[in-house]
Amino acid sequence: MTKAEIVAEISNKTGIEKVTVQHTVEAFMESVKNSMAKGENVYLRGFGSFVIKKRAEKTGRNISKNTTIIIPAHNIPAFKPAKTFVNDIKGSVK
């Protein structure tokens, strides 16, 4: 499902204009990105959490040059679904 499809579905279900829904969805995504950029996790009860995971420093290989490189420690964004979310998905498998 794309962002446009999400906007269209919310608009159809609520009767709110697509433009207003699109601004709301984009504002939500921007808020999540800004919070995570500041190092804050975002918790949506019953849906899941957008969390920052820390990756440790590790050794990698550049295959084309056959050299070893050090990949520095870094943070990555991740999504951890809520238990109810996971159970709903597990129950929908046919």
CA angle 28, 30, 32 (to 5 degrees): 70
pLDDT (tens digit per residue) in 10-42:
999 999 999 999 999 999 999 999 999 999 999
Domain ranges of the chain: 1-40, 41-94
Residue 93 has pLDDT above 80, yes or no: no
Residue 47 has pLDDT above 90, yes or no: yes
CA torsion 17-1-49-79 (nearest 10°) is -150
CA angle 31, 33, 39 (to 5 degrees): 105
pTM: 0.77
User: Ranked by mean pLDDT, which of 19-23, 62-66, 87-91 comes out on top?
Assistant: 19-23
Please tell me the distance from the alpha carbon of residue 28 to that of residue 17, in angstroms, as a whole number: 17
- CATH tag, 41-94: 4.10.520.10
